Structure 1
Amino acid sequence: MGNWLFGAGPETVYSVPAQDLDDYVQTSLRPTGDCQKQIDEAVDSICAALQGATAPPMVTDVARGGSYGRKTVLRGNSDGTLVLFVSDLEKFQDQKERRPEILSEIWQRLGACQLERKLTAKMEIQRPSGGLTIRLSTKQQSVTFDVLPAFDALGLSGKPSPSTYRDLKRALDKARASPGEFSVCFTKLQQNFFNNHPRKLKDLILLVKDWYRQCQKRSEHRSLPSSYALELLTVYAWEEGCGEEDFDIVQGLRTVLGLIEQQEKLCVYWTVNYNFEDETVRNVMLGQIRSSRPVILDPTDPTNMVSKDKTCWRLLKEEAEDWLSCPSLRESPGPSWNVLPAPLHETPGHHLDKFIKDFLQPTKTVKIQIKTAVGIISKFLKEICFRHSATKVQKPIKAGSSGKGTALKTGSDADLVVFVDSLTGFPSQRAERYDVIKEIKQQLEAYQQLAAEQDLEVTFEISKWEAPRVLSFSLKSKHLPGPVDMDVLPAFNALEKLGPLWRVYTKLIAQYQQHPDTPGGEFSACFTELQRDFVSCRPTKLKDLLRLVKHWYKQCERRLKKKGSLPPKYALELLTIYAWEQGSGATSFDTAQGFRTVLELVTRYQQLCVFWTVNYNFENETVRNFLLSQLQKPRPVILDPADPTGDVGGGNRWCWHHLANEAAEWLSSSLCFKDGTGGPVPSWKVPTVQTPGSCGAGVRPVVNEMFSYRSRGILD
């Protein structure tokens, strides 16, 4: 542990070893408990005295803002606000007109009641430039409060409505006030916004603010962004990249500094108190977030741009680069969180290709990392894992997004399907798969203790299932630049063992008929190669559209995870391929058009019936009858092109309505669907139901039979 813990503190935060940053926050940045208590008691007394007065101006309530209200006070000197809600202020404009008069009355009142004799902290009252400040200080702590009279815009409900912000916009125009001038009216909302985040996030904020304070000393009087902007940026980084109460503070710090490095791309805002639904509020928001970057909007006041212009961020960018290059951060373990500096929502349609290239396509390093990790585990499985067992690995297959060529830049993960000869059929796979997983896990644990040349470190995830279908673990090695999350799925090699595809599918269907309780898609791992080939042969630009849709889905998933189970991501991938096949089919197309088409199909989920005949079709009677039963299921129906038992549409199984609501909101408000002139981007014309001649690119369907199915109401 660094010597700074036992002395007067480090010269700068740069000198604190990364592993000691948590301790540094507690011992050097957080106010001591006694000092905080004395300040709190003094504030309580002042608020009580102000609210207890019977003479006008009548103070109905006092809100505590600034760093003090957000509970992000740094040890030593810090700031706060005491916002006085005065009954005489009946609208926003009154606040501006009557501020000097009210402050004079409050100043006289504070002097007359001689509070300083009763307080647990020393109090000093000052009138800088016609304002009013109260400085409370103890032996080791001081907080300077700006006293601000305000109109109580929230009223008894304590919550804003669209009319609240419409009134705010009208008041700004009428009073010719600066944007954000009335943001103090929403101090309680700001306090609630920060109170809803965990304590450790506030520790990260303190670390960032301490660094910011040192940047101020080195700025030579050059203008910097407000510390509030940095606090909000830290909250954004945590929300987008982590969201957990306990986290690695070094990873969080790296993420925030990385976002500051990309300040010319920053566009950060929230919709917790206001959103795009009301026209007036929407226009205010769009005007703000379409202005030059960086953009950081106050989550409580859409008129309050807290980020200022880009010139004041340049010094911070240089300082962030310096700290990131320091040995203490550069050499510490663990990656930063993957957080984009700008939201997809506000990326114009003609910039989507650049957005994908900049933010979604995996880097060469990530590709090499995944390839190396797959190589390490494949070699282990083929040559080492079962060397003392009768079980043999026939072949491992790279699956998932990395196998299909649609992986995102976000994180490093890989799926590996392992065909082993001990699994001799579909029943065998279901009954014996867990035994194979246990064997792999035991052998991998033993191997990492012996494999000094690989320097392997494996961390297993604990499955919530009694007999899991997959072995999940994180792999670290000296041959890898970072950890790789891996899923290994043992499977029966049905495609090679059962002969022609029609026979494979009849055997598969027989398994379901004999065991009707078997979940659809239970054996989809057996068809990994067909799933992979269905996607991997597609044009590069379609794979980029798939990345875009998956990124959108992940954003929705994070927002909606508490509302219910969303349909699987694979359903959205298949829907995207279907949209392209039906609407374009070209190697080059307008990405915004494709994206719009997919989201429109999501909003029409109750009509969807999508399938392909590239691997199975209606020619074999057993397969045909099974397909007809699948297509008669409640919509949406989206059949896995490699496995007819896998309906990833799922009917009522998943909460498509939540995803549809998100899609509808995006379609109505996102810049993604505006072209370079600001005009709307059209969608492709795509039917929601598969039609004769359209059930698989490059495959000739049985047209007469398809017409027969339609006449029976199956495809309507």
Structure 2
Amino acid sequence: MGNWESRLYSVPPQKLGEFVQNSLRPFEDCQNKIDKTVNTICAVLQEAEQFPLVISVAKGGSYGRKTVLRGNSDGTLVVFASDFEQFQDQTKSPSEILHKIRDVLRVWQLTTELAAQVEVQMVSGTLTIQLSTKRQSITFKVLPAFNALGLSDKPSTWTYLELKRALDQTHSNPGEFSVCFTELQQKFFKNHPRKLKDLILLVKYWYEQCQEKLKYAPLPPVYALELLTVYAWEQGCRTEDFDIVEGIRTVLGLILQQEQLCVYWVINYNFENVTIRNILLSQLRSSRPVILDPADPTNNVSKDKMCWQLLKEEARIWLSSSGLNESPGLSWNVLPAPLYTTPGHLLDKFIKDFLQPNKIFLEQIERAVKIIRTFLQHNCFQHSTTKIQKIVQGGSTAKGTALKNGSDADLVVFPDWLNSYTSQKNERSRVIREIHKQLQACQQKLDLEVKFEISKWKAPRVLSFSLKSKVLNESIDFDVLPAFNVLGHKNSHTAPSPSVYSELIDLYSSSDALGGEFSTCFTELQRNFVISRPTKLKDLIRLVKHWYRQCEKKLKQKGNLPPKYALELLTIYAWEQGSGTTNFNTAEGFRTVLELITKYQQLCIFWTVNYNLEDETMRNFLLTQIQKTRPVILDPAEPTGDVGGGDRWCWHLLAKEATEWMSSLCFKDGTGEPVQAWKVPTVQTPGSCGAGMYPITQEMFSFRICRTLE
């Protein structure tokens, strides 16, 4: 192992942040001198009489992106000249303007006192300016370019359409004109925190040492590594103060998955225009790895996959070194490719590789939950007359639809003295306070294979804790919820007595009780409704929930999205009505769900597996429920719970996203042909209310309900 490897690979993880600050960041005084000199050069080029047609000068490369390493680094000075009136003009020889720039700078050097030493060189038609101080040197390439942005700081659709036309006319390589978008590249990095740039410095230092070790072997461009680091942080962290060790592990882990890498942004261009959409889809279909320049959709900066193989091996070496391997290898949960770019015939593999939780972790969770349940049932209230009648586990973990990281689960506790819906509402905070007190006292005594962390207590109605793997980047968030044992100890696989719901409906109709407020009482029924479904349907639910997560990240500032449970039920409905088989086409199912979301204003869905139309009170109540503003999606366990919610949630935002996703690769098969959705009605009819429905004998009511649904 060479000196640099010994130095870098042996740095203790907790010292990597200090290593960046003390060894990789440029010295501030040196950087200030170079900045001052660069600003002077830019002013000279814009004000010189020889260049009346220079519009502006943009700073690019590592210097422009503020990712300069201590010692030697690179930059570009992009000179936007007005006689370049279109992209095609850049194909002309720039030698004349470059010679003028060289001559002006050489004269200027002789007459100006400079903060940094300047060396101007013209070699083989390339003009470089090297700025040096005692402890820092930056070599700038001078590049004349077309001012594609004009006076705007944001590109228009027209800009990229002209870019496509120029590439076609000149037969230039994709990315040939990316220098025109230098200001966008600079802005992209400027908007990210200082610590992320420190992580980039660490990645770049490692990369440069790999270059030195491998000599003349071809490696990916350093810009690709910078973008990959930004992608890792955006997808896995997004906080200004993060663990730099987790960050470097994540980046190295993505390099190990380079055969699957597909990274892109839609901040300057997107899928709305058909021409640009086709450019993007063509890029995203190409051989991996794909890393698109966020400023230029034609520019895949990753180059070919052969140059990643050596880097992949070096990444494996560092990950297994004592420096990164001496503590549990936690990293951020980042997929090497987004769902949008996954072809339909590979969706099952996507789910298996990226969405299904680790089986060992699930087994650990199961054992941990068993210990916690035993504590709650037998130890928590041992000095009290309170008895816990039963504890029911709910949420995605219990249903078998948990995602790989950050899924949710419920532990519903049924104390004997919560003997009515009203007592649950009034007394649950007292139960939670006692559980919180006892769990905190005994937290260290619980012998668990996973980390047990009680969340900071905020709401008196719920107690939250997390179970986290000690070695994997996986966790599950639990809520402990007290509830009235309305179902008693009866067989939870049979329908409850109508009287159970009559009392609930009376309370809902005569008080300020919210719809679905007492759904925790019916957790067993909610769980059983999903858990009995085929494994592949549960995987489809995982896929829809993953899609929903992506929408949440994008839309959370714009409005409240409908609950995930609504999408779970919608997915089950789509499968029941459109397939019903255990081995279906996942892409077809996914498309069906998204198409139903786009038709949210027509949705009216309910089931009669737990409550039915035979009881008059329930019949009249259901008729009222399904006449509400759509979408209506009734909880199959609890009829007051309309998780569709009408106008309560921003379905229109989700519908817009679903519409945009129709052009994604998810809905293309292996031959590139479009995948078709199942034929599914938007309105549930009394004759098709789900498997296990009760026979409807009231013909008159059936007539009335059909008229209502029409």
TM-score interval (norm. to shorter): over 0.9
Alignment of 1:187 with 2:182, yes or no, is yes
Q: Work out whether 1:489 is the aligned partner of 2:485.
A: no
1:278 deviation in Å?
1.5
Question: What is the CA-CA distance between 1:116 and the residue it aligns to?
Answer: 7.8
**1:489 aligned partner, one-letter code:** L
Determine if the alignment matches structure 1 residue 698 to structure 2 residue 687.
no
- 1:261 is aligned to 256
Q: Distance in 2 between matches of 1:597 and 1:206?
A: 45
Shift of 1:402: 0.8
Aligned with 1:343 (options 326, 333, 338)? 338
| Aligned residues of 1:135 and 1:145 also touching (Cα < 8 A) | yes
SS of 1:427 mapped into structure 2? helix
- For 1:39-188, list aligned pairs within 5 A: 39-56=34-51, 58-114=53-109, 117-188=112-183
Q: Which amino acid aligns with 2:508?
A: Y
Q: 1:55, CA displacement in angstroms?
A: 2.4
Deviation at 1:470, TM superposition (A): 2.1
Q: TM-score, normalised by structure 1?
A: 0.94
Partner of 1:36: 31
Alignment of 1:140-289 (within 5 A): 140-289=135-284
Amino-acid identity (%): 66
Residues 321-340 of structure 1 mapped to structure 2, 5 A cutoff:
321-333=316-328, 335-340=330-335
Deviations 1:612-649 (A, max 9, x none): 00001121122222212211110000001001111110
Q: Secondary structure at the match of 1:64?
A: strand
Q: Matched residues in 2 for 1:368 and 1:375: separation? A: 11
State how 1:388-467 maps to structure 2 within 5 Å: 388-411=383-406, 413-451=408-446, 453-454=447-448, 458-462=452-456, 465=459, 467=460
8 Å contact kept, 2:263–2:292: yes
Once residues 10 and 674 of structure 1 are traced to their aligned partners in structure 2, the CA distance between those partners, rounded to angstroms, is 45
Structure 2 contact 218–307 (Cα < 8 Å) conserved:
yes
CA change 1:556–1:478 in 2 (3 A) is closer
Q: CA deviation at 1:9?
A: 9.1
1:512 to 497, 508, 515: 508
| 1:390, distance to aligned residue in structure 2 (A) | 2.1
Amino acid across the alignment from 2:482: P
Measured in 1, the distance between the counterparts of 2:380 and 2:128 equals 71
**2:677 corresponds to:** 683
Deviates more, 1:53-62 or 1:562-571: 53-62
In the alignment, structure 1 segments of 5+ residues that lack a partner are 1-7
| Secondary structure of 1:127 counterpart | strand
User: 1:494 and 1:115 mapped to 2: Cα distance?
Assistant: 91
- Tell me, yes or no, if the aligned pair for 1:369 and 1:482 is still in contact at 8 Å: no
SS of structure 1 residue aligned to 2:89: helix
> What aligned pairs does 1:292-307 form with structure 2 within 5 A after superposition?
292-307=287-302
Name the structure 1 match of 2:369. 374
Q: Is 2:365–2:450's contact at 8 Å kept on the other side of the alignment?
A: no
Letter paired with 1:678? G
Which AA in structure 2 matches 1:488? V
Secondary structure of the structure 2 residue equivalent to 1:714: helix
CA distance in 2, matches of 1:592, 1:478: 35
Q: Aligned AA for 1:136?
A: L
1:546-590 CA deviation, whole Å, 9 max, x = no partner?
A: 111111111111111111110001101100000111111111111
Using structure 2 for the length normalisation, give the TM-score. 0.95
Q: Please give the alpha-carbon distance, in whole angstroms, between the structure 2 residues aligned to 1:384 and 1:463.
A: 21
Which of 498, 503, 512 aligns to 1:502? It is 498
Task: Give the deviation of 1:463 after TM superposition.
Answer: 5.2
Q: For structure 1, which segment, 696-705 or 302-311, has the greater mean C-alpha deviation from structure 2 after superposition?
A: 696-705
Assess if the C-alpha contact under 8 Å between 1:359 and 1:409 holds in 2.
Answer: yes
Distance in 2 (CA, whole Å) between partners of 1:201 and 1:650 is: 40
Between 1:670-679 and 1:658-667, the stretch displaced more is 670-679
Name 1:308's counterpart in structure 2: 303
Question: More deviation in 102-111 or 332-341?
Answer: 332-341
1:421-452: CA deviation from partner (whole Å, max 9, x where unpaired): 2322211111111111111111111112445x
The alpha-carbon distance between structure 1 residues 706 and 62, as it changes in their structure 2 partners (threshold 3 A), is farther
Counterpart pick for 2:641 among 646, 650, 654 = 646
Taking the aligned partners of 2:168 and 2:449, their CA distance within structure 1 comes to 65
User: Within 5 Å, which residues of 2 pair with 1:571-582?
Assistant: 571-582=566-577
- Indicate conservation of the 8 Å contact 1:84/1:149, yes or no: yes
Q: Matched residue of 2:477: which SS?
A: strand
Distance in 1 between residues matched to 2:456 and 2:462, nearest whole Å: 11
Partners of 2:134 and 2:704 in 1: CA distance: 85
Matched, 1:470 2:465: no
1:589 — aligned with what? Answer: 584
Query: d(CA) in 2 for partners of 1:194 and 1:665?
Result: 27
Q: Is the 8 A contact 2:635 2:642 kept in 1?
A: yes
CA distance in 2, matches of 1:221, 1:179: 25
CA distance in 2, matches of 1:569, 1:334: 31
* Structure 2 contact 605–684 (Cα < 8 Å) conserved: yes
CA contact (8 A) 2:686 2:705 kept: no
Query: Which residue of structure 1 lines up, in the alignment, with residue 668 of structure 2?
Result: 674
Instruction: Provide the rounded CA distance (Å) in 2 between the counterparts of 1:382 and 1:413.
Output: 21
C-alpha separation between the residues in 2 aligned to 1:459 and 1:314? 40
Classify the secondary structure of the residue corresponding to 1:388.
Answer: coil
Q: Is the 8 A contact 1:695 1:701 kept in 2?
A: no
- The 1-side partners of 2:457 and 2:661 are apart by 35
1:473 counterpart letter in structure 2? F
Choose the corresponding residue for 1:611, options 606, 626, 633.
606
Q: Residue 483 of structure 1: CA displacement? A: 5.5
Q: In 1, Cα distance between the equivalents of 2:300 and 2:155?
A: 19
Superposed structure 1 runs of 4+ greater than 6 Å apart:
477-482
**Counterparts in 2 of 1:449 and 1:287: CA distance versus 1, 3 Å:** closer
Tell me how far apart the structure 1 counterparts of residues 587 and 452 of structure 2 sit (CA, whole Å).
41
Instruction: Provide the secondary structure at the position in 2 that maps to 1:394.
Output: strand
Q: Distance in 2 between matches of 1:385 and 1:475?
A: 19
Give the distance between the partners of 2:326 and 2:83, measured in 1 at CA: 59
SS in 1 for 2:104: helix
- Check whether the contact 1:190–1:300 (CA below 8 A) recurs between aligned residues: yes
Deviation per CA, 1:102-135: give whole Å up to 9, x if none. 1111111111222684221111111232111111
Counterpart Cα distance in 2 of 1:461 and 1:197:
29
RMSD of Structure 2 on Structure 1 (CA): 2.1
Contact kept in structure 2, 1:223 and 1:312, CA below 8 Å: yes
* Distance in 1, Cα, partners of 2:261 & 2:468: 32
Q: Provide Cα deviations, 1:75-127, integer angstroms capped at 9, x if missing partner.
A: 11111111111111111111220422211111111112226842211111112
2:686 aligned counterpart, secondary structure? coil
SS of 1:548 mapped into structure 2 = helix
Number of equivalenced pairs: 703
CA distance in 2 between counterparts of 1:513 and 1:143 reads 74
Q: Give the counterpart letter for 2:506 in structure 1.
A: A
- Residue in 1 that maps onto 2:593: 598
CA distance in 2, matches of 1:339, 1:554: 13
